[in-house]
């Protein structure tokens, strides 16, 4: 059967023929892949930029794909919650042995001794069929979602980030005088899928959202912001004055150090900066004046990665709600879709001109 893989240490992804999985036993589920999403992490692995990318032990190649949507084909004798025909989103990170991993919070792993499908130490979902354990499969209850359910995996990271934001904000009276968030300003930088989904998430909770991005591919950010009642500004955030971006919450999805520095200056008292993007490029000097400002303003900086099973479940609920409320807005984000054979060239390219690319497996 077909799979898309990389050889660690070698640039470029390729189509490869691999052995199909054998029938499921015990808690195992046999799955047919329907869609996989492509994100910056995949391109980082393909271009050899992620030093933590790793094949399964004893294997030469790593099958890519950590954003998946699959259909149950067959189940082992001990599987109780899934039946053939069900749609599922497979979880990415699988627990190691630390105390966090032991309670299903491998997203907060303390020692890095976990594996991640399609990223480090475990084959991913860019293959026609795979076997997985019931406990790592999140059931899609809303069949109307269709391929949009492939956005569950990226969105669950943001649901966790929102969760962390709420937790750190419990240190002060975090709501407006009317008990809502409607006086709170959120600035989101970057109009990729993550920036757009962050905007939708905060907007859904009543915050005033402004999305700032250097580009607006196919006018999708403008269109979605209009739908959700957010503002969109096409600009390079590092060229804006902090006074122009005054915020209670500043969300960076670009990973550019200069943007993050600007964000700290743009925060109000008790402000929170959420760091989500990563990049190895760029530099920003932290000055004594900036440190003093951060201290005096009670600023919190949150770095956050991955999410727990609960966040996948909540992400699916948001997607259902948004599909209902905002019509085809989510579909607009999926700008590119193709079969595996025709996806390799684009996977090996720079992704410019795409918002979200997905691969259709069946
Ligand atoms: Zn752990």
The domain limits of the chain are: 2-151+330-360, 173-297
Which distant-in-sequence residues (6+ apart) come within 8 Å of 300 by Cβ? 168, 169, 270, 271, 272, 273
Cα 81 to ligand 1 centroid, rounded to whole Å = 26
Q: Are 50 and 44 in contact (CB under 8 A)?
A: yes
The per-residue pLDDT for 281 is 78
d(CA 136, ligand 1 centre) in Å: 16
Q: How far is the CA of 23 from the centre of ligand 1 (A)?
A: 30
pLDDT value, residue 290: 93
How many angstroms is it from 104 CA to the middle of ligand 1?
Answer: 9
pLDDT given for residue 266 in this prediction = 97
Cα angle, residue 160 at apex, residues 155 and 162 outer, rounded to 5°: 95
- For residue 160, the CA-to-ligand 1 centroid distance in Å is 17
User: Which pLDDT score is estimated for 208?
Assistant: 98
Q: In terms of DSSP bridges, do strands 129-133 and 28-38 run parallel, antiparallel, or are they unpaired? A: antiparallel
Distance from the alpha carbon of residue 307 to the mean position of ligand 1, in angstroms: 13
How many angstroms is it from 92 CA to the middle of ligand 1?
A: 14
What's the gap in Å between 249 CA and the centre of ligand 1? 29
Q: What is the 317 CA–ligand 1 centroid distance (Å)?
A: 27
Report d(CA 350, CA 345) in Å as an integer.
Answer: 10
What's the gap in Å between 29 CA and the centre of ligand 1?
24
Q: Give the model's pLDDT for residue 277.
A: 87
CA distance 70 to 132: 11
The values of phi and psi at residue 52, to 5°, are: -95, -5
Q: 152-169 and 309-326 are packed helices; what angle lies between their axes, rounded to 10 degrees?
A: 110
* C-beta of residue 236 within 8 angstroms of C-beta of residue 190: no
Q: How far apart are CA 309 and CA 188, in angstroms?
A: 25
pLDDT at 204: 98
Pairing of strands 208-213, 185-189: parallel
Tokens of 156: 């669950």
Residue 289, pLDDT score: 93
Q: Which residues in the chain land under pLDDT 70?
A: none
The domain 173-297 having CATH identifier 3.40.50.720: the answer here is yes
Report the number of secondary-structure helices (H) and strands (E) in the chain.
10, 19
CA of 225 to the centre of ligand 1 (A): 38
303 C-alpha to ligand 1 centroid (Å): 17
* 302 Cα to the center of ligand 1, angstroms: 20
Between the CA of 105 and the centroid of ligand 1 the distance, in Å, is 8
Two structure tokens written together for 192: 């990729």
Beta bridge partners of 336: 357
Neighbours of 255 (CB within 10 A): 18
Q: How far is the CA of 306 from the centre of ligand 1 (A)?
A: 13
Ligand 1 midpoint to CA 324 (Å): 37
The confidence score (pLDDT) of residue 278 equals 84
Q: Which residues surround ligand 1, an ion (CB under 5 A)?
A: 96, 98, 101, 109
* CA 308 / ligand 1 centre spacing (Å): 13
Q: Rounded to the nearest whole angstrom, what is the distance from the C-alpha of residue 107 to the centroid of ligand 1?
A: 8
Q: What is the CATH number assigned to the segment(s) 2-151+330-360?
A: 3.90.180.10
What span, in angstroms and rounded, lies between the C-alpha atoms of 249 and 27?
42
Residues of 47-66 as b/e, b for ≥16 C-beta within 10 angstroms?
eeebeebbbeeeeebbbbbb
242 within 8 A of 265, measured Cβ to Cβ: yes
The rounded Å distance from CA 118 to ligand 1 centre is 18
User: Is residue 65 within 8 Å of residue 89, measured between CB atoms?
Assistant: no
The first and second tokens of residue 261, run together, are 């520095």
Rounded distance from Cα 22 to ligand 1 centre (Å): 29
CA distances in angstroms from 295 to 82, 203, 264, 275, 299, listed in the order given: 50, 28, 11, 18, 6
Residue 283, phi then psi, degrees to nearest 5: -155, 145
**What is the 187 CA–ligand 1 centroid distance (Å)?**
32
pLDDT at 279: 80
Whether the Cβ atoms of residue 255 and residue 194 lie closer than 8 Å to each other? no
101 C-alpha to center of ligand 1: Å? 4
Q: Per-residue b/e over 211-233, b at no fewer than 16 CB within 10 Å?
A: bbbeebeeebbbebbebbebebb
Residue 273, phi then psi, degrees to nearest 5? -110, 125
* Ligand 1 centroid to residue 108 C-alpha, Å: 7
- The C-alpha atoms of residue 267 and residue 139 are separated, in whole angstroms, by 39
Q: How far is the CA of 272 from the centre of ligand 1 (A)?
A: 27
Q: How far is the CA of 112 from the centre of ligand 1 (A)?
A: 6
Helices (H), 216-347: 220-228, 257-266, 288-296, 309-326, 329-333, 344-347
């Amino acid at each position: 059967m077909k799979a898309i893989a990389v050889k660690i240490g070698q640039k470029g992804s390729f189509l490869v023929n691999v052995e199909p999985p054998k029938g499921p036993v015990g808690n195992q589920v046999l799955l047919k892949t329907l869609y996989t999403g492509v994100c910056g992490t995949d391109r980082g692995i393909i271009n050899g930029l992620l030093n933590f990318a790793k094949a399964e032990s004893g294997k030469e190649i790593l099958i890519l794909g950590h954003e998946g949507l699959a259909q149950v084909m067959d189940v082992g004798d001990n599987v109780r919650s899934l039946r053939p025909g069900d749609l599922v989103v497979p979880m990415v990170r699988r627990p190691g042995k630390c105390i966090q991993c032991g309670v299903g919070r491998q997203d907060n792993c303390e020692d890095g001794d976990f594996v991640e499908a399609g990223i480090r130490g475990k084959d991913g979902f860019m293959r026609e069929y795979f076997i997985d354990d019931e406990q790592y499969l999140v059931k899609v209850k809303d069949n109307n979602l269709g391929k949009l359910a492939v956005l569950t995996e990226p969105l669950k990271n943001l649901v966790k980030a929102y969760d962390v934001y709420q937790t750190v904000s419990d240190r002060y009276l975090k709501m407006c005088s009317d008990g809502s968030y409607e006086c709170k300003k959120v600035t989101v930088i970057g109009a990729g899928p993550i920036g757009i989904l962050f905007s939708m998430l905060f907007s859904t909770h009543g915050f005033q959202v402004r999305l700032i991005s250097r580009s607006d591919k196919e006018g999708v950010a403008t269109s979605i912001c209009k739908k959700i009642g957010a503002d969109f500004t096409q600009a390079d955030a590092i060229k804006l004055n902090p006074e122009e971006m005054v915020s209670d919450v500043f969300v960076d999805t670009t990973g550019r150090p200069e943007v993050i520095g600007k964000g700290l200056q743009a925060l109000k008292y008790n402000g929170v900066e959420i760091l989500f993007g990563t990049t190895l490029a760029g530099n920003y000097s932290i000055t004594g004046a900036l440190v003093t400002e951060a201290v005096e303003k009670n600023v919190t900086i949150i770095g956050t990665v991955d999410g727990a099973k609960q966040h996948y479940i909540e992400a699916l609920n948001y997607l259902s709600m948004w599909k209902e409320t905002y019509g085809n807005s989510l579909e607009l984000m999926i700008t590119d879709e193709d079969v595996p054979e025709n996806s390799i060239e684009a996977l090996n390219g720079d992704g410019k001109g795409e918002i979200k690319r997905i691969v259709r497996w069946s």
